[in-house]
A and B are shown apart, each in its own frame.
Chain A
């Protein structure tokens, strides 16, 4: 039996008129130019990250001093095809302060940044979803307890709390990711709680409850699939934020430790050369900016596509 709009009795997402909701969302998504640009940017980033060893001409941590003729510290980009003298060694984006190829470091940095983004969001998403969904579904004192604790977390300045956590755990990339993950938990928990709260009073949930479905199954089998789309948006935007925040921690020396080619620490290492060798500062900065922009565009596009109120 198919239903038409005026006779809807069970407004479940599993029953639709002509096409599935995901397919519709995808169509919506493709209609937005900025979302496509974001997706292409992230696609390129992912490609770079996966094939980094093939793309990068050098080992990102190799000091080329004494291994390559005529190499000079902090020289600008040199591409032979674009008229750079042939006797000068070719380095597409120049050489950094430790005689390493900047292009290779940027390429490997993409790998690291994607990893940072996904791992950080995965950690906070897992914790946030569990806390938020239990709080929203069970309600009562548990809701109060969880949400007030998250409010406490929210009361601290974001980066300051992350710095505090990393200071306790000790500097390092893993700890920086953990720190950022912990401070981003409240954002996810609140989003999922709000979705669960609105979904749990829906008729299909009441029906499932009346049928005697176990609460855990109701939560994860019936409510979550319908509450997940805001979370997808939040997570996509969160990847960009996480990359930015971990770069900030690395800039402060609390994240990736040398010689790891992390963009934030690369920027930090050469910050005093901003006038004498600007490419060493601007290129990692640009890489961070483009990556975060890509995730933001993608996230915005996803939000527009997944939001039923914006359905055209």
Chain B
């Protein structure tokens, strides 16, 4: 009998082995999704959907020959081989949505950008970190991803020495840097999602600078003579979004009710640090034309209830309130704000169930238009221009985050973007801002002030309104290593395909673009190009490259490197158009679209 049991038992065990194997795979996935804050921050606007299209469709086009898509074929790239590279769209419009007509190296140190329409913001956009220049040879040897994602080669004051995932990135000074060499010999980037930990590390002296201390800690830091606190200007917006394809938010009256049913002043007063302000418009006022048009309607819960009744919801309704539990400059206390909004919504009869979504998933869902309820999200300026705020969210090329686009807003923004001066653009932005307040795709709540704290002995400590602090200029009290602790780990260091500030800040130290923003400010200053000058109607921009600029691998910067770095992002059919996700979100958002764009 005992023998029979042993046999039965072993048989069962054998049967269970496949079961075990199958079960073994289950805990892994949840482990990844349920970590409270996952370090791999997905880009603020990356759309998984478009990423998939970008990688799959061009391949299909390539094999199925030009018969497949007539309009796409019209806008195919033209490459000029030879000593000097050039890439051009066959024509503007007719299926090609982008604004760049041609990028050409006219000689070894000159690159000419030809645009389809005048663009007064060209310099501000071209200075953005996503358009940094990498050696053409390195891009080709990595195939557009692989090593490129963790060890980019650039021209910046620091080069990547090592990246220990989950722990730190170590940067070494680049001694052949063309400009002012970096002061610290080594820069170490660390990260922690917990504000309390960042502060503790700063106080105990293991790091030299931290990003985003908690609002309540501002006083603690200010009172500590061994620390210094720098306030970052509020060049961002926090908003409560709604998707107009899901009921009840498909009813404009419901959205208008929420627009006046939320006490935004109360949120700013209680959950934001000094230097924050209530958002009168989606765009902060420090951006030209940002505050044109009427102010956001005042808080009026009674009128909000009346509107809800008019919309057919006299007893309110039930919905979800979704957010990601991640601290950003525009939202220093996500959980507290969510619970306060929940309580405020209850006052006008709306029962909101709070739903916390993992950060990367949340952004993907937002871009794909899958967030059905109210959702909390924000936006930090990349460059100080209206297009960076309004076009990205509400323009023709915007994602499905707020559902179907509002044609009148899209039209106003298109007109506004094409005018050369701020004065000429103003009337269109008055119209756009007023239309946004009328249609309420979202409720702008706050422009959040935030801070950066350093040890008191860090000289020339600085804070950037764009969130890209420049460590080369800071002297960590004579020490050779400068340690910086930010909110999260970069997703990759190939910033052409990243949108999250945590990645962009590290790229700022390593790679450079034709132009850049001044340290601690937003003005555009020369970078790898000594100048980028337009022709009279702002459709041709000629950039003269600086002489004697060396990459970290010792090779010289040439005009072809510039053309390649741009073409890889621009041309969706380029074999190097791969990156981490392949979405190259910023390129499309800032320059209107790709060459050989995948069919929508």
Contact = CB atoms under 8 A, between A and B. Distances in A.
A152 interface: yes
A272 B13 contact: no
Interface of A: 61, 63, 65-66, 73-74, 97-99, 140-141, 144-145, 148-149, 152, 155-157, 160-161, 163-164, 166-168, 171, 252-254, 257-259, 269, 271-277
Given A98-B340, A253-B325, A276 B214 contact: yes
Nearest to B1: A140
A257 B196 contact: no
B27 A74 contact: no
B146 interface: no
Nearest to B193: A272
A258 B26 contact: no
A167 B35 CA distance: 11
B354 A269 contact: no
A259 B342 contact: yes
A148 B16 contact: yes
Contact of B8 (A144, A254, A273): A144
Nearest to A62: B343
Contact of B36 (A99, A168, A253): A253
Most A CB contacts (10 A, CB to CB) among B16, B30, B194, B354 go to B30
Contacts of A164: 26-27, 29-31
A182 to B, nearest CB: 13
B34 A65 contact: no
B20 A152 contact: yes
A66 B217 CA distance: 24
Given A97-B336, A148-B13, A163-B30, A271 B194 contact: yes
Given A144-B5, A152-B20, A98 B336 contact: yes
B356 interface: yes
Nearest to B214: A272
Given A97-B333, A161-B27, A164-B27, A252 B217 contact: no
6 contacts: A63-B343, A65-B340, A98-B336, A141-B12, A273-B214, A275-B217
B68 interface: no
Contact of B216 (A145, A258, A273): A273
B27 A275 contact: no
Interface of B: 5, 8-9, 12-13, 16, 19-20, 23, 26-27, 29-31, 33-34, 36, 194-196, 199-200, 214, 216-217, 220, 266, 270, 325, 333, 335-336, 338-340, 342-343, 353-356
A260 to B, nearest CB: 10
Nearest to B16: A148
Given A144-B12, A152-B19, A272 B195 contact: yes
Nearest to B194: A272
A271 B196 contact: yes
Given A98-B339, A141-B8, A269-B336, A167 B266 contact: no
Contacts of B23: 152, 156
Contacts of B27: 156-157, 160-161, 163-164
Most B CB contacts (10 A, CB to CB) among A63, A74, A149 go to A63
B13 A254 contact: no
A73 B267 CA distance: 12
Contacts of B335: 97, 258, 269
Nearest to A274: B196
A160 B356 CA distance: 19
Contact of B266 (A66, A160, A254, A274): A66
A164 B217 CA distance: 35
A252 B270 contact: no
A228 B266 CA distance: 57
Given A152-B20, A276-B217, A252 B342 contact: no
Contacts of B200: 275
B12 A148 contact: yes
Nearest to A156: B27
A272 B30 CA distance: 25
A99 B31 CA distance: 33
Contacts of B214: 272-273, 276
Contacts of B270: 65, 73, 99
Given A65-B340, A269-B335, A276-B214, 10 more contacts: A63-B339, A141-B12, A148-B13, A164-B31, A167-B30, A257-B354, A271-B194, A273-B196, A273-B214, A275-B196
A254 B12 contact: no
B339 A258 contact: yes
A216 B339 CA distance: 53
A145 B9 CA distance: 8
Most B CB contacts (10 A, CB to CB) among A152, A166, A253, A271 go to A253
Contacts of B8: 140-141, 144
Contacts of A144: 5, 8-9, 12
Nearest to B26: A164
A63 B345 CA distance: 12
A145 B19 CA distance: 13
A17 to B, nearest CB: 39
Given A259-B339, A272-B196, A275-B200, A167 B34 contact: yes
B31 A276 contact: no
A66 to B, nearest CB: 7
Contacts of B13: 148
Contacts of B339: 63, 98, 258-259, 269
Contacts of A61: 343
A215 B26 CA distance: 39
B216 A74 contact: yes
B31 to A, nearest CB: 6
Contacts of A259: 339, 342-343, 354
A275 B16 CA distance: 50
Given A98-B339, A98-B343, A148-B12, A254 B34 contact: yes
A214 B8 CA distance: 27
A275 B343 contact: no
A272 B195 CA distance: 6
A272 B36 CA distance: 13
A39 B176 CA distance: 74
A269 B33 CA distance: 19
B353 A257 contact: yes
Nearest to B10: A144
Contacts of A273: 196, 214, 216
Contact of A277 (B29, B195, B216, B353): B216
A37 B335 CA distance: 38
